[in-house]
């Protein structure tokens, strides 16, 4: 009624089209992503003003390289969270993979591909184990992967005797992975882009992605719609294992040797924080790779800025924890979740 009788209070020429054209763009990017872009611009501006070198190309590359490993783990963490799970053992998995890649490389007579294949195989195995414990052991994912966080870290330390293992920077492939550039961008960043793109396509364009969102959105309904939830969960955790292994290989390539813990510790927190900041609903069913990557960039820019400004790294930990909470608080506010019945 109202729409038919009230003419739009806009002039007939030009200006009328603008709001209509703007809204699709806005909805395509999403409100969450817009605020992330806003925050990223703010961070870049503030640190850019404080320090002349912050916005330099070299520093941008440093940020990108540092964010790559987090980014890989965050992208797969996003998939796990979308299907209603959580994996807090990703950092430890990367540690195991890092050690395995370097040790297999050495024992196979400096064969980089053997090192990488062994790491990915171990990653897949760990992922399947996680999935099986969660699905068939009916263990809550947080608990199962908390156990994994400790156990896989211990495994990496056992394998490596607690020390950095092997030396890989005499190998062209590892050097290329860790230091190489394609079209001005570090190879590591290209790998992140490739993995992120693949996961994005998987989530948005395939029936597999639809089913992953469905499982996280309503597992009972998904099961009754004929989706084999168990198979999906195991596969998703296996994917995490494989990608965590890639992250571990890159860690080896970057540091030059297999690192059981240094470099991979605390990555789970970063990955989960990035997913939450990027708009993943922690109860599942919601989230995008794009949002997560923006959040990874934001976290990376922030961390680098704080370091460049010489802020104590202990404070950076505090900032990380706070960010995770803030991200979830914003999310809960936005969805109105848990608003009813709680004391105001």
Partner 1 sequence: MSRAHPSASTSRPPADPPSAAGARVEGITKRFGAVQALNDVTLDLPGGRVTALMGENGAGKSTLLKILTGDHRPTEGRVLLDGRPVDLRSPADARAAGIRIIPQEPEIVPHVSVAENVYTGSLPRRAGRRLDRAELRRRIVADLDRLGFADVLEPDLLGSQLTPAQRQLVEIMRALTGRTAARVIAFDEPTSSLSEHEVDALFALINRLRDQGVAVVHVSHRMQEIFRLADRIAVLRDGALVGVQDAGATTESDLVRLMVGRDLSTVFVRRPVVTDRVVLDVRDLTTDRVHGIDLRIRAGEVVGLAGLIGAGRSELALALAGDLPVRSGSVTLDGRPLPSGNPGAVIRAGLGLAPEERKAQALFLHRTIRDNTSIAVLERLRRFRFVRRGAERDLAQEYTDRLRVRTPSVEHEVRKLSGGNQQKVVLARWLARKPKVLILDEPTRGIDVGAKAEIYRIVADLAEQGVALLVISSELPELLGLADRIVVMQNGRTTGELNRAEATEEAVLALAMADDISPSAPGATS
Stretch that binds partner 1, among 40-48, 76-84, 215-223, 325-333 (CB under 8 A): 215-223
Stretch that binds partner 1, among 15-23, 42-50, 206-214, 294-302 (CB under 8 A): 206-214
Q: Looking at beta carbons only, is 24 or 109 nearer to partner 1?
A: 24
Q: Looking at beta carbons only, is 140 or 206 nearer to partner 1?
A: 206
d(CA 344, CA 327): 20
d(CA 6, CA 176): 65
d(CA 185, CA 67): 13
Using CB under 8 A, pick the residue from 53, 140, 228, 307 that binds partner 1.
228
Q: 182 near 190, Cβ under 8 Å?
A: yes
Stretch that binds partner 1, among 47-55, 152-160, 224-232, 312-320 (CB under 8 A): 224-232
Using CB under 8 A, pick the residue from 6, 9, 109, 207 that binds partner 1.
207
Q: How far is the CB of 314 from partner 1 (least distance, A)?
A: 39
Using CB under 8 A, pick the residue from 214, 276, 289, 296 that binds partner 1.
214
Which of 33, 75, 68, 93 lies closest to 272, judged by CA?
75
- Which residues are 144's β-sheet partners? none
The answer to the question of residue 126 lying near partner 1 (CB under 8 A) is: no
The answer to the question of residue 208 lying near partner 1 (CB under 8 A) is: yes
Return the residue matching tokens 């941008």.
Answer: 60
Q: Looking at beta carbons only, is 13 or 338 nearer to partner 1?
A: 338
Write out the binding residues for partner 1, residues 270-329 only, by CB under 8 A.
285-286
DSSP assigned state of 181: E
Q: Looking at beta carbons only, is 179 or 223 nearer to partner 1?
A: 223
Sign of the dihedral defined by the CA atoms of residues 36, 42, 43, 45, in that order: positive
d(CA 250, CA 23): 40
Q: Looking at beta carbons only, is 97 or 281 nearer to partner 1?
A: 281
The answer to the question of residue 341 lying near partner 1 (CB under 8 A) is: yes
d(CA 236, CA 228): 12
* CB-based contacts of 141, cutoff 8 Å, min separation 6: 80, 85, 86, 87, 134
Query: Which residues bind to partner 1, rule: CB under 8 A?
Result: 2, 205-208, 210-211, 213-214, 217-218, 220-228, 285-286, 340-341, 344
């Amino acid at each position: 009624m109202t729409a038919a009788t009230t003419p739009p209070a806009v002039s007939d020429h030009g200006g009328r089209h603008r709001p209509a054209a703007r809204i699709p763009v806005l909805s395509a990017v999403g409100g969450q992503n817009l605020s992330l872009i806003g925050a990223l611009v703010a961070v870049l501006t503030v640190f850019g003003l404080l320090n002349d070198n912050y916005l330099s190309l070299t520093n941008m590359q440093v940020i990108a390289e540092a964010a790559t490993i987090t980014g890989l783990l965050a992208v797969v963490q996003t998939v796990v969270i979308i299907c209603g799970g959580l994996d807090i053992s990703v950092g430890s998995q990367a540690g195991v993979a890092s050690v395995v890649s370097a040790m297999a490389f050495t024992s196979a007579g400096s064969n980089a591909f053997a090192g990488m294949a062994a790491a990915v195989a171990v990653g897949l195995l760990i992922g399947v184990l996680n999935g099986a414990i969660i699905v068939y052991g009916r263990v809550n994912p947080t608990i199962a992967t908390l156990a994994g966080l400790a156990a896989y870290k211990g495994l990496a330390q056992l394998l490596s005797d607690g020390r950095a293992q092997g030396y890989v920077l005499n190998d062209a492939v590892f050097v290329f992975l860790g230091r190489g550039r394609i079209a001005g961008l570090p190879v590591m960043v290209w790998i992140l882009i490739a993995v992120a793109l693949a996961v994005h396509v998987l989530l948005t364009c395939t029936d597999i992605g639809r089913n992953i969102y469905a499982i996280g959105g309503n597992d009972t309904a998904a099961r009754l719609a004929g989706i084999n939830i168990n198979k999906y969960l195991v596969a998703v955790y296996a994917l995490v294992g494989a990608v965590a292994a890639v992250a571990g290989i890159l860690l080896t390539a970057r540091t030059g040797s297999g690192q059981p813990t240094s470099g991979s510790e605390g990555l789970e927190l970063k990955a989960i924080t990035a997913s939450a900041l990027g708009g993943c609903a922690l109860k599942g069913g919601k989230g995008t790779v794009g949002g997560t990557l923006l959040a990874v960039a934001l976290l990376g820019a922030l961390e680098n800025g704080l370091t460049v400004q010489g802020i104590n790294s202990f404070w950076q930990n505090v900032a990380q924890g706070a960010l995770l909470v803030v991200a979830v608080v914003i999310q809960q506010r936005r969805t109105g979740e848990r608003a009813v019945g709680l004391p105001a």
